[in-house]
Chains A and B, each alone.
Chain A
């Protein structure tokens, strides 16, 4: 079977030729507003015309090109017997960003809309309705089921994004992306204090639904596309994929010992959003042989990319991070895929809190004296840094060792955020040294947020 296609604005025509005595011509038209197949949207987003040759009826891509099914989640349209006021959730006890901004008017405006994939507002907010939140920690309270969610439900996503990202306004600001690690100044920390360095982010494959909404076939396609690309990495990035369904006992133990293995989500924030469906189908972990570059497949996002090593060489960690990401992007582009990205929101991920860079760059650093100083929180604040325990988010610090990372995700580039961490951690180490010598420290002036 050979499939050739060309793209028109909002229309896709697909021709199928069978090398036999007769030629079939099949014309399928999709309109982006209707329930277009996710793979059709892949075609429409490509920038060049090409010919794909697909061999065998087993090819998934062929199946999706001809996808005419209208069945996807038609429920939302079919079943509106109650007015929006009867469906509006009771958010009086809730404390999350969604609850703060979802007024009955906004709900009424958006509750009948769906993305081309059939994702609805009710699905997006389910996790926030089911998890009222914590009086001290404000969770986001909503997720995206696909790239279009951020457009179709912009009236609720925009204010949520603005609140979560400290004032970044998606309506009139642009997000800079910069993965040129050569721009980094410094980045080699004093290893008397810094025990390890790590940078993580996520990437989504354009044209496939996100973990809350993807079907089993889409999830398996994400896995296939990603491990195909990762298999093309060379040099110090050469590595291996461990599928959660197929891994042996020994492999599992090794991954646990390396602190690489992720488990089925138990947090209700994630399970209520539907991200754990069909576990462990199409989930897995890839890492390079040197165990310094790690990719999670189909956990909370299509991919989570982590670069890390012991010690204080953040510069090298970030270099590997950028190189790995750019290589993976090149490899998926060779096959006709790309990452979800736009200049308003940067890289698109499942949770609005991870938009923009989706980047958390941090260190495990020992600060016995500084951490006891009452000015510590304010210093971190002004440096736009965040502290966590060494177990990650919501854990306590152990023995004066803290996880210090960037506060922001959206509105600054990767280079800017990593530089912020480098400069900030250096400042913290200077403070610690001063306190060691009996000298006084100063709270730094607050650095500006959007550069």
Chain B
């Protein structure tokens, strides 16, 4: 009893002041929850204070709900499930701790997607992330671990052939010319400046063990040790999303095989799907989308509602938190967890097809009322 009184007092003194905060972690974390989780740590020593630091340091924005917590390793999602399960449920549209996530990387299951009108759809892209089981994630990994991740990844990627054959550019060894070329290709990633990432320790030791790999055709790209162990991107100009997704699935599957040959696997379980650093990227971790010209539709009063029903999300062409330029929008799936990869890309393909049709209607001065979709 005495110990409990004292523990209470200590916990209260350590509990963060979240009164000005607006992120998923702050909505969920109570004093009692914090008290229970304070004594725990993952086998690699990640604590609840480590999990929430980024959310404490970044109160958030009144209109944008950030997640406010990160994982330091695969076990974080288990050890701190009292905190992370409700955060996941909130962030991923009611996904329950007992729900199961489907993984489907068979591109043959995608219907259509090869005929999006290139007059409107300028480019197509699919990205996801992967973590190597047994290693700590970017907020927590040591230099030795990060280097080992780089080594394994470069080895696996080096074995890819055919149209996936490519080359690795380590950030710290890059020449001036290589750097400029990667910038021109829009491939180069830089040291994170967002306080959301910095506060969680992901930029430590930059640029040690970070790099970019891409195939010779410049259609398949892998980032090593940026916000996740691996970020995998398949992209090309035009509207052939099917080809993009095809390459995406083939590439990922091949990479996974190569890792398995060396005795490594990706972090995955049937509840959370692929495990990544940020809870917002669980499940598929996938964002599949297009850059599409919608100057008329984007001004329509029902644009937001249409996107919502199609389970799509809009961003500017610079990515998250940028403005659209010249009526060109980045349209992608809003969900990550609870739907398979095929299902999500299907939603994008079908949804974008409809959006383009609506745009054409509006161009011709016709109404789009009878084209309004149902809520998916």
Residues on A lying within 8 angstroms of B by beta carbon are 16, 18, 24, 26, 57-60, 62-64, 66-67, 69, 71, 73-76, 78-79, 81-83, 86-90, 93, 122, 126, 129-130, 215-217, 220-221, 245, 271-272, 276-279, 281
B residues less than 8 Å from A26 (CB atoms) = 2
Q: Which of B10, B14, B142 contacts A87 (CB 8 A)?
A: B142
Roughly how many angstroms separate A307 CA and B259 CA in the complex, as a whole number?
62
B205 touches A129 (CB 8 A): yes
Selected from A66, A79, A272, the residue in CB contact (under 8 A) with B6 is: A66
Report yes or no: B13 in contact with A216, Cβ–Cβ below 8 A: yes
- Complex Cα–Cα for A126 and B203 (A): 11
B13 touches A76 (CB 8 A): no
* A residues in contact with B204, CB < 8 Å: 126, 129-130, 272
- B252 CB within 8 Å of chain A: no
Residues of chain B within 8 A of A129, CB atoms compared: 204-205, 208
Known interface pairs A82-B148, A122-B142; 6 further A-B residue pairs with C-beta atoms within 8 A, sorted by A's residue number: A71-B39, A79-B45, A79-B142, A87-B143, A89-B208, A130-B205
Q: Does the CB pair A130–B206 fall under 8 Å? A: yes
- 28 cross-chain CB contacts under 8 A: A16-B2, A58-B12, A60-B9, A60-B13, A66-B6, A71-B38, A71-B47, A75-B44, A75-B45, A75-B46, A75-B140, A78-B43, A78-B44, A78-B45, A79-B142, A81-B144, A83-B144, A86-B147, A87-B144, A90-B208, A122-B142, A130-B206, A217-B14, A271-B198, A277-B56, A278-B53, A278-B57, A279-B57
Q: How far, in Å, is B210 (CB) from chain A's closest CB?
A: 12
Contact B17 A74 (CB under 8 A): no
* A62 close to B6 (CB less than 8 A): yes
Query: How far is the CB of B3 from the nearest CB of chain A, in Å?
Result: 7
Residues on A with C-beta less than 8 A from B205 are: 89, 126, 129-130
B6–A63 touching, CB < 8 Å: yes
How would residues 18 to 36 of chain B score, 1 for a CB under 8 Å from any chain A CB and 0 otherwise? 0000000000000000000
In the complex, the chain B residue whose C-beta lies closest to that of A83 is B144
CA distance A104 to B36 in the complex (A): 41
Q: A245–B142 contact, CB under 8 A?
A: no
The distance in angstroms between the C-alpha atoms of A79 and B75, with both chains bound, is 14
Q: Considering the complex, which residues of chain B in the window 205-237 have a beta carbon less than 8 Å from any beta carbon of chain A?
A: 205-206, 208
**Least Cβ–Cβ distance between B20 and chain A, in angstroms:** 8
- Complex-state Cα separation, A85 to B208, whole angstroms: 14
| Cβ contact within 8 Å between A245 and B148 | no
The distance in angstroms between the C-alpha atoms of A57 and B145, with both chains bound, is 44
The residue of chain A having its C-beta at the shortest distance from the C-beta of B144 within the complex is A82
Nearest B residue (CB) for A272: B204
B172 touches A90 (CB 8 A): yes
- The interface on chain B, measured as residues whose beta carbon lies within 8 A of the other chain's beta carbons, has a size of 42
Given A66-B3, A71-B47, A89-B208, A130 contacting B203 (CB threshold 8 A): yes
Contact: A74 with B41, CB < 8 Å? yes
A83–B148 CA distance with the chains assembled, in angstroms: 12
Residue of A nearest to B206 (CB): A130
CB distance from A64 to the nearest CB of B (A): 7
Docked pose: A277 CA to B13 CA in angstroms = 16
Query: Which of chain B's residues has its CB closest to A221's CB?
Result: B13
The answer to whether A73 touches B45, judged by C-beta atoms less than 8 angstroms apart, is: yes
What sequence of 0s and 1s flags, for each residue 309-329 of chain B, a beta carbon within 8 Å of any chain A beta carbon? 000000000000000000000
CB of A19 to closest CB in B, whole Å: 13
How many Å from the CB of B370 to the closest CB on chain A? 53
Smallest CB-CB separation from A69: which chain B residue? Answer: B39
- Are B17 and A281 in touch, CB under 8 angstroms? yes
Bound Cα distance A93, B46 (Å): 31
Once bound together, how far apart are the Cα atoms of A88 and B41, in whole Å? 26
Given A71-B41, A74-B45, A81-B144; A63-B57 close (CB under 8 Å): no
* A87: B residues at CB distance < 8 A: 142-144
Please indicate the chain A residues that have their CB under 8 angstroms from the CB of B117 in the complex. none
Assess the A63–B13 pair: CB atoms within 8 A: yes
Which chain A residues border B46 with CB–CB below 8 Å? 75
Contact partners of B343 in chain A: CB under 8 A: none
* Residue ID in chain B nearest A84 by CB atoms: B144
How far is it, in angstroms, between the C-alpha of A215 and the C-alpha of B47 when the chains are bound? 12
Decide yes or no whether B158 CB sits under 8 A from chain A: no
The residues of A that contact B142 with a CB separation of less than 8 Å are 79, 82, 87, 122
Distance A79 CA – B144 CA, assembled complex (angstroms)? 11
Query: Are A217 and B56 interface neighbours, CB within 8 A?
Result: no
B44 CB to nearest chain A CB (Å): 5
Given contacts A16-B2, A277-B53, contact A216 B14 (CB under 8 A): yes
Question: A220 near B148 (CB under 8 angstroms)?
Answer: no
Pairwise interchain contact B44-A79, C-beta atoms closer than 8 A: yes
Report the bound CA distance from A129 to B209 in whole Å: 13
Q: What residues of B have a CB within 8 angstroms of the CB of A93 in the complex?
A: 172
- B175 at the binding interface (Cβ < 8 Å): no
Question: Considering residues B7, B57, B144, B205, which has the most beta carbons from chain A within 10 angstroms of its beta carbon?
Answer: B144
Do B10 and A60 touch across chains, with their CB atoms under 8 A apart?
Answer: yes
| Given A73-B45, A89-B205, A130-B203: A64 touches B10 (CB 8 Å cut-off) | yes
Find out whether the CB atom of B10 lies under 8 angstroms from the CB atom of A67: yes
8 A Cβ contacts from B114-159 to A = 136, 140, 142-145, 147-148
Q: Which 6 A-B pairs have the closest CB atoms?
A: A75-B45, A82-B144, A217-B13, A86-B144, A63-B10, A57-B5
Indicate the member of B2, B3, B172 with the most A CB atoms within 10 Å: B2
Give the complex CA separation of A126 and B208 in angstroms: 13
Across the two chains, which residue of chain B brings its CB closest to A74? B45
Task: Give the nearest-CB partner of B140 in chain A.
Answer: A75
Check: B49 CB closer than 8 A to any chain A CB. yes
A277 to B203 Cα, complex, angstroms:
15
Residues of B within 8 A of A18 (CB): 2
A18 to B148, CA, bound (A): 55
- Chain B: which residue is nearest A72 at the CB level? B47
In the complex where A87-B143, A130-B206, A271-B198 touch, is A57 in contact with B16 (Cβ < 8 A)? no
